[in-house]
Amino acid sequence: MNASNTTDAPRPVELNRPLRDVAVGSAIAGITAITLLIAAAWPAPDDLEPPASANPPPQVEPDLGPESQPAPGDGKLEIIESGYTPIKDLAGDSMVSWGAIVENTSATMTAVSTVYIEPYDTDGESLGADTDWDLAVEVEHLMPGEVIGVGSTSYIDDGDFDGLKMHIGETIWFNPEDLDEGSLTTSDIATEWVDVGSTSNYWSDDGISFPENERGDLQVTFTVTSTFSTLLQDVSACVIYRDKDGDIIGASRPDDIGYSVDYPPGWSIRTLETSYGPPEGLDEGSIEVYALP
Q: Which of 65-69, 124-128, 222-226, 234-238 has the lowest mean pLDDT?
A: 65-69
Q: How many CB atoms within 10 Å of residue 270? A: 19
Tell me the pLDDT tens digit for each residue of 257-270.
998 999 999 999 99
pLDDT at 36: 42
Q: Could you tell me if residue 113 is left (phi over 0), alpha (psi between -120 and 50 degrees) or otherwise beta?
A: beta
Tell me the pLDDT tens digit for each residue of 87-105.
999 888 899 999 999 999 9
Between CA 22 and CA 171 the distance in angstroms is 72
Q: What is the DSSP string of 104-119?
A: E--SS-EEEEEEEEEE
Total count of domains within the chain: 1
Q: How confident is the model at residue 64 (pLDDT cuts 50, 70, 90)?
A: low
Between CA 150 and CA 241 the distance in angstroms is 11
Note whether residue 203 is domain-resident.
yes
Between CA 130 and CA 242 the distance in angstroms is 28
pLDDT at 9 over 60: no
Between CA 253 and CA 239 the distance in angstroms is 8
**Which residue range forms the structural domain that includes residue 229?**
77-292
pLDDT at 63: 56
Q: Please, which residues bridge with residue 164 across strands?
A: 119
Percent of the chain with pLDDT over 90: 60
Q: Which of 50-54, 152-156, 201-205, 219-223 has the lowest mean pLDDT?
A: 50-54
Q: Please, which residues bridge with residue 209 across strands?
A: 202
CA 130 vs CA 20, 135, 154, 181: distances in Å: 87, 10, 12, 38
Q: How confident is the model at residue 200 (pLDDT cuts 50, 70, 90)?
A: confident
Between CA 185 and CA 143 the distance in angstroms is 13
Between CA 181 and CA 141 the distance in angstroms is 10
Over range 70-90, report the average pLDDT.
95
Note whether residue 38 is domain-resident.
no
CB of 137 within 8 A of CB of 84?
A: no
Over range 109-123, report the average pLDDT.
96
Note whether residue 27 is domain-resident.
no
Note whether residue 118 is domain-resident.
yes
Average pLDDT, the chain: 82
Selection from 282, 207, 202 nearest residue 240 by Cα? 282
pLDDT at 39: 43
Note whether residue 33 is domain-resident.
no
pLDDT at 10 over 70: no
Note whether residue 34 is domain-resident.
no
Percent of the chain with pLDDT over 70: 76
Tell me the pLDDT tens digit for each residue of 129-143.
776 778 999 999 999
pLDDT at 24 over 80: no
Note whether residue 89 is domain-resident.
yes
What is the length of the chain? Answer: 293
pLDDT at 3 over 90: no
Q: 88-103: buried (b, 16+ CB within 10 Å) or exposed (e) per residue? A: ebbbebbbbbbbbbbb
CB of 251 within 8 A of CB of 272?
A: no
Between CA 280 and CA 109 the distance in angstroms is 39
Q: Which amino acid is it at 29?
A: A
Note whether residue 45 is domain-resident.
no
pLDDT at 107: 96
